[in-house]
Structure 1
Amino acid sequence: MSVLSIDGVWKFFGGHAVLRGIDLDVRPHEVVTLIGASGSGKSTLLRCVNLLETVDDGTIHLDGDEITDPRVNVDEVRTRLGIVFQAFNLFPHMTVLDNVTLAPRQVHRVAREQAEEQAHDLLARFGLADKVRAYPDQLSGGQQQRVAIIRALATQPRLMLLDEVTSALDPQLVVEVLGIIRELKDAGMTMILTTHEMGICREISDTVCFLDEGVLLEKGPPEKIFSEPENARTREFLRSVLDSGRF
């Protein structure tokens, strides 16, 4: 069974269709990367999966459960998903430890001692053991984004959604965050990510999906998408990315 099944999803803002009949299945341990120009619908698709946006047509299933059913418990669905945005969204008045343990304690009702033990393990795993008592404004951008990813991991999500998590970072800090993404893949985490970093896309993706004006025009393994794209729009996009030096 797929972890996630997106079937015929449409999303409108006003009279404009931002997503146009998207179909996509994500298998366990698969890494799916969404690429495309800004405004192509990549982030909106992730927001629909996390129920931050309501789909106008079509369905989304998580582990066989239809999460787009209006009767669904949205909070329960979100306990099974981890989402990280390009803006770090850390609570500035909380320490790193408190940011990471908040959801496990408040949403999942994990005892403080257990939540803090898990947080210490995750922070040590990703090179932030010495930042436990630090506040977000005492961290670099790369460290803040790592904490944001760790915070999402602390709830032990079934599926991770990563939305342009390196785009707000200086180039030298991108490497820090990409290292975490590589490690998550190696650990078997199921992920959907959007990115303009075509190098990491080629390296870690099992499936690459090219979106153009809300349409999923082409999908396949990275070696096929990058070497032998079938759609002319895909070829045009990849040429423009190559010319911009994002490979």
Structure 2
Amino acid sequence: MSDPLLSLRDVRKTFRTHGTTQVVLDGIDLDVAEHQCVVLIGASGSGKSTLLRAVDLLDDVDDGQILLGGLDIADPWVDADEVRARLALVFQQYNLFPHLRVLDNLTLAPRHVHGRRRADAEADALAMLEKVGLEHKARAYPDQLSGGEQQRAAIARALVGNPDLLLLDEVTSALDPALVGEVLDLLTALRDEGTTMLIATHEMGFARDVAHEVVFLHEGRIHERGTPAEVLDHPQRPETQEFLRRIR
């Protein structure tokens, strides 16, 4: 069996503010294999977002290893820009530049960071917009799109760089309930295509449908992991049982 694309080993993170200390990640061990979809669940403050931000090098960790293709990207000597070229993180908020058309949002990084020619970058961006069902919105501005369309555009922007790993942080939480389905349908299609994803979500039905593995975080620790049926239908830990009871 090949090594996982992503491995976290004893990852620890503490926030210190106003004289208080909060342990946010407390010895996280986690593997994500290539073409696998791993879904993180847990209450607000359980460490899901911090874990994703640590993988994307937005938050430094205090201890432990984060191995991407065998390279410890938590090492402070690692070139963060090179690492981020292999990753893409999509947030709750769409973070599209409001003064740029959708097409320009997608081509900004390929042109100005990676040196792609405009014609080539736009061809790739248009192909990605077609993939997410937004080719007809390529020349619209973000405020001319619905929330679901903006989130799909943000996912398209993340994918246009062909990342090894797609990280998604509660990407439906800012959406009107009527718009959630179109984003989840897109993520389901990406999963079926073999996109490697690490997803934090509060959508248990989505977790059940798309996850190869569900990981329950509580107070910065992994308390339970397994298939969707194992974790969501037959949870073993009392913390998992209580969490699922509350959200249902």
Give the structure-2-normalised TM-score: 0.96
User: Alpha-carbon deviation of 1:112?
Assistant: 1.3
Residue identity matched to 1:228:
H
Matched, 1:35 2:41: yes
Could you say which residue in structure 1 is the equivalent of 2:50?
A: 44
User: Alpha-carbon deviation of 1:141?
Assistant: 0.5
Query: Whole-Å Cα distance in 2 between the matches of residues 223 and 108 of structure 1?
Result: 42
Aligned length: 242
**Contact (CA 8 Å) 1:108, 1:155: kept in 2 or not?**
no
Give the secondary structure class of the aligned counterpart of 2:11. strand
**Contact (CA 8 Å) 1:79, 1:107: kept in 2 or not?**
no
Query: Whole-Å Cα distance in 2 between the matches of residues 168 and 111 of structure 1?
Result: 34
Runs of 4+ in 1 over 3 A off after TM superposition: none
Query: Whole-Å Cα distance in 1 between the matches of residues 90 and 147 of structure 2?
Result: 14
Matched, 1:183 2:189: yes
User: Alpha-carbon deviation of 1:111?
Assistant: 1.7
Given candidates 61, 64, 67, the residue that maps to 1:58 is: 64
* Correspondence list, 1:145-156, <5 A: 145-156=151-162
Could you say which residue in structure 1 is the equivalent of 2:204?
A: 198
What is the alpha-carbon root mean square deviation over aligned residues?
Answer: 0.7
Could you say which residue in structure 2 is the equivalent of 1:12?
A: 14
Matched, 1:138 2:144: yes
Q: Deviations over 1:140-184 (max 9, x none)?
A: 110100000000000100000000000000011001111110111
Residue identity matched to 2:134:
L
Give the structure-1-normalised TM-score: 0.97
Query: Whole-Å Cα distance in 1 between the matches of residues 10 and 153 of structure 2?
Result: 35
- Structure 1 unmatched ranges of 5 or more: 243-247
Q: Deviations over 1:203-246 (max 9, x none)?
A: 0000000000101111111111112111110011111111xxxx
* Correspondence list, 1:1-247, <5 A: 1-14=3-16, 15-242=21-248
Query: Whole-Å Cα distance in 2 between the matches of residues 174 and 183 of structure 1?
Result: 15
Task: Give % identity.
Answer: 57
User: Alpha-carbon deviation of 1:109?
Assistant: 2.0
Query: Whole-Å Cα distance in 2 between the matches of residues 78 and 72 of structure 1?
Result: 11
Query: Whole-Å Cα distance in 2 between the matches of residues 230 and 103 of structure 1?
Result: 45
Query: Whole-Å Cα distance in 2 between the matches of residues 107 and 236 of structure 1?
Result: 46
